[in-house]
A and B are shown apart, each in its own frame.
Chain A
């Protein structure tokens, strides 16, 4: 959208994040660092039962304790809410029933944390214990009369989506090969290092301020207004710097409502910091999904049709589940062309912590299934798996079978890059038994076409002001959750106004100071907020250039803003510092401030019901090659290297893009090999290890070599051609590893995670089949057994 052919002086360079030094030096003030005079500490009492009716709550003993200022229960905030406005099915604290081990039932505010903990022990709750349901299919099979969630509308069916494009049965019937597979993705959680934390403060005039470690300050603002039954203009939400989120902080949580209510009751500031255990209970992580796939192929490897049947285990509440259920099917239709597609996805309520969005929302699980299906087809058809993917590439400007308009598409280049970097052609056929290479591809959205609540206002807006000292202030409602969005804004303003990053102050995610932005989710910020920022900064650039051109008596087109100066492009010896240029512009125009906003094009998706969900202004593309070493005696999978090629349209800031690619590949690798967010049905539905000791995420020494290969297929919808890079690069991680395991040792891992006992069991089954003469030895290997 840059109108002139100027040479970029910031775009595409590597930058230090604008907040990096403060974080490195330990001076960043996170939410838990906020300490206000007279501040009380809150704690939430949680249900030890996975499913129970609350018969009575007696808070009198707790209230009578020294140092206890207030106790609240579900009855104090009974309005149901939900991040998706159509599914309000949770309350700040349980009103009628507790739905999982860890569900919040009451909260106290006390003089300090220890007193608050003691007070929780003094709250007496009588429960009527109910039969819990942990299996989603069992849950769906129950009668609709007594749903787990009291606000559920259709029994334990949280959401059902059935969409069909073309004639799938005919497409499968005419296929030369139909691959059928059943897959299971066990749940995983975000494990951001910073636990959730919120602080509330009420002014004497009733104005409420809530600081929260959230990635959606605007939605939190709205839900606070709803649940607290007060107008939004009496509430201010501020997001302090965050220590990671990954989707785990993208909706309101009990602590935010509790600190607000407790602050209102006591008149004193109140803070609640989750324990790590509570972070696991708040969850909203990746849904467990049971997936059945049928995929038809022609003899030369072209996909004829895809039939998917998925059950999502939603846990106790809807969260983003309506969207997740759509995403589990809607986001699968690129980068490969399908003739026909049908998906049936059903999300079940169960007595577990609620699932929601985790990096790559809803589509990482089906992507695993599809990419393994493709690998199975390649083996059966005798095709190179990269070549099979190439043959199915839909190209730029295509329309998917579910009618999404794809813009730029660098998928083929992604494949070519990982193929070359891994030396695929030479090495894949020659690696010994135990070593293998696997490939997978994917696509992801750059923001959702529609906001969570229907409205016609901009999806993103930015205000930029310049001052006469040569500085810029950028006001943005967007949430920097560590992904670097504040730096992205500074880079754009720097590019447009010619001032260095150090002279740009980004003020973000404060609902009093900043224009509304919808938040950090769906990989929307670079494209949407970036466009809004570019628009505002571009208007200012025009004013500044005109003011300088007037003094120099040249055409404004000759004025270049870069390197902290305004420069005459035809005579670079003539230049002035940026501050002087801004002074001239301020003399001409008055105070220099502009706004920019962005809304999505509405012509890029189908008109069918659900056709808007999953549609995006632009799509990123990714390919991974993973190299693994599988220990045939222990089943341990050592992921040696992952090559990640990602088409982000244009890398506005290279190091941040590479960091996102590496972080994504790491996160997917972790889910593939180690992570398990489960409950133990044999022990009352407890989480088996709600701590970072027992919920294992890989350490530095476990992490593979990660190689980021940036691909830039210029996207007309994006600022400077940019698309997302924060979530897409995760998707191929898991299937690439699964496919590499097959290449290494000839076993299919269709169930996550690929833990040593599971891999060893698969190896033993294969050895038995080989011994029985049912299979030839993989790679012709003669092997020793344990």
Chain B
């Protein structure tokens, strides 16, 4: 069994306590531990102290606050997936949270951890011994990229199932740090540098996700493909949100948002979907138009298993099928 490195552990009970504990240079947060602990076993980091979020009660709520649903960062993925308000307003989020890894991991892992999931790469998420055989890389001990030869920017993949969905729903994230509280659109939270792929500032903790309640009829879904039916990170990951004029699949589409994960370190918000707007959701031309744009704009890399050209082709298929499934569901 791989061993964890040695570290101290503190368990504050308030967000302020967490922020204070994060003043220790190199301190890292741990909630469910399903991402950071394997990474520590792989010696991808050696924090002097882990700040445990398990006792911070204020992170453990889901409630409607005016026209947004507040989801506390400490809610487990199982809790998010099964929560009545989430199911009622955001079925695609319920779906995505329920597709992360396996039931045991969803019982441990939190939504805050999932949106802060470190980027992943076949050349990074290995033991330190393994990485020593290839001399490391930009994200570990080396200075080369094995995915993009000659590349100077790490392209490790944003592999969260929930992030594309939350972006598609227009979610914001609340960060609390030594300089107080700030709220930013989740879409702007991610950067193109896989070694530091979020806008998190030193000493900050994500406290909640705020998802605006739908203002009109809508269909939303999440499409995930992985080799196995459980455990695996996504290899194809597409979130769709379709706002409708009336609450029927025969209705005209007023707006459509497609967000794709597992490309580089930042999810891709697909643009120029205007030609799909105005079509009926049930019109096959709508599905084709969206799938074509997704395919054209998203270029998977060899940073996760399975050939990138294959995964690119699958983006088109799975996007179209996800829309067809929405139509079939009525």
Contacts and interface: CB of A to CB of B under 8 A. Distances in A.
B317 A786 contact: yes
B133 interface: yes
A49 B3 contact: no
Interface in A24-66: 46, 48-49
B180 interface: no
Contacts of A684: 133-134
Interface stretch (A156-164, A301-309, A692-700): A692-700
Interface string B215-230: 0000000000101111
Residue among A277, A634, A674, A760 with the most chain B CB within 10 A?
A: A634
Given A683-B146, A701-B230, A117 B3 contact: yes
Contacts of A757: 306-307, 310
Given A277-B130, A688-B122, A702 B1 contact: no
Contact of A694 (B229, B305, B316): B305
A690 interface: yes
Contacts of A689: 122, 305
Residue among A46, A633, A687, A760 with the most chain B CB within 10 A?
A: A633
Given A273-B1, A688-B122, A633 B228 contact: no
Interface in B137-165: 146
Interface in B1-39: 1-3, 6
A380 interface: no
A702 B229 contact: yes
A96 interface: no
Nearest to A43: B3
Nearest to B311: A757
A117 B5 CA distance: 10
A275 interface: yes
Given A275-B1, A277-B129, A684-B133, A633 B122 contact: no
B132 A633 contact: no
Interface in A674-728: 674, 683-691, 693-694, 696, 698-702
B122 A686 contact: no
Nearest to B102: A699
Nearest to B123: A683
A760 B102 CA distance: 28
B122 A699 contact: no
Contacts of A275: 1-2, 127
Interface residues on A, range: 35 or more
Nearest to A683: B134
A755 B314 CA distance: 14
B232 A696 contact: yes
Contacts of A48: 129, 132-133
Contacts of A101: 133
Interface string A622-656: 00000000000110000000000000000000000
B122 A694 contact: yes
B184 interface: no
A49 B228 contact: no
Interface in A403-420: none
Contact of B231 (A273, A699, A756): A699
A760 B228 CA distance: 17
Interface in A81-122: 101, 113-114, 117
B309 to A, nearest CB: 8
B315 to A, nearest CB: 10
A114 B6 contact: yes
Contacts of B1: 195, 273, 275-276
Nearest to A635: B310
A329 B268 CA distance: 53
Interface in A193-251: 195
A688 B306 CA distance: 12
Contacts of B195: none
A519 B147 CA distance: 46
Interface string A117-141: 1000000000000000000000000
A694 B229 CA distance: 14
Nearest to A121: B128
Nearest to A687: B130
Contact of B317 (A46, A113, A634, A698): A634
A147 B41 CA distance: 37
Contacts of A702: 228-230
A303 to B, nearest CB: 37
B65 to A, nearest CB: 37
Interface string A263-305: 0000000000101110000000000000000000000000000
A276 B41 CA distance: 12
Contacts of A693: 231-232
A634 B130 contact: no
Contact of A634 (B6, B134, B314): B314
A760 B231 CA distance: 24
Nearest to A49: B133
Residue among B126, B129, B306 with the most chain A CB within 10 A?
A: B129
Given A117-B3, A694-B305, A686 B130 contact: yes
A113 B134 contact: no
B43 to A, nearest CB: 10
A668 to B, nearest CB: 17
Nearest to A195: B1
Interface in A586-641: 633-634
A667 to B, nearest CB: 16
B251 interface: no
B250 interface: no
Interface string B94-119: 00000000100000000000000000
A379 B254 CA distance: 53
A404 to B, nearest CB: 40
Contacts of B313: 760, 786
A46 B122 contact: no
Nearest to A699: B230
Interface string A169-206: 00000000000000000000000000100000000000
B3 A114 contact: yes
Interface in A727-761: 755-757, 760
Given A114-B6, A694-B122, A760 B129 contact: no
A690 to B, nearest CB: 7
A698 B228 contact: yes
Nearest to A32: B1
Contacts of B225: 634
A158 to B, nearest CB: 24
Residue among A49, A195, A277, A674 with the most chain B CB within 10 A?
A: A277
A494 to B, nearest CB: 39
B9 to A, nearest CB: 16
Nearest to A673: B227
Contacts of B229: 699, 701-702
A696 B314 contact: no
A48 B229 CA distance: 34
A690 B127 CA distance: 9
B225 to A, nearest CB: 8
A702 B129 CA distance: 32
Contacts of A756: 306, 310
A760 B310 contact: yes
A48 B305 CA distance: 22
Contacts of B133: 48-49, 101, 683-686
25 contacts: A114-B3, A275-B127, A276-B2, A277-B2, A277-B130, A634-B317, A683-B133, A683-B146, A686-B130, A686-B134, A687-B130, A689-B305, A691-B126, A696-B227, A698-B228, A699-B230, A699-B231, A701-B228, A701-B230, A702-B228, A756-B306, A757-B307, A757-B310, A760-B313, A786-B313
Shortest 5 CB-CB contacts between residues of A and residues of B: A701-B229, A757-B310, A48-B133, A699-B230, A48-B132
Interface of B: 1-3, 6, 102, 122-123, 126-127, 129-130, 132-134, 146, 225, 227-232, 305-307, 310, 313-314, 316-317
Given A114-B6, A700-B230, A786-B313, 12 more contacts: A113-B3, A275-B2, A276-B2, A277-B130, A633-B317, A683-B146, A686-B133, A690-B130, A694-B122, A702-B228, A756-B306, A760-B313
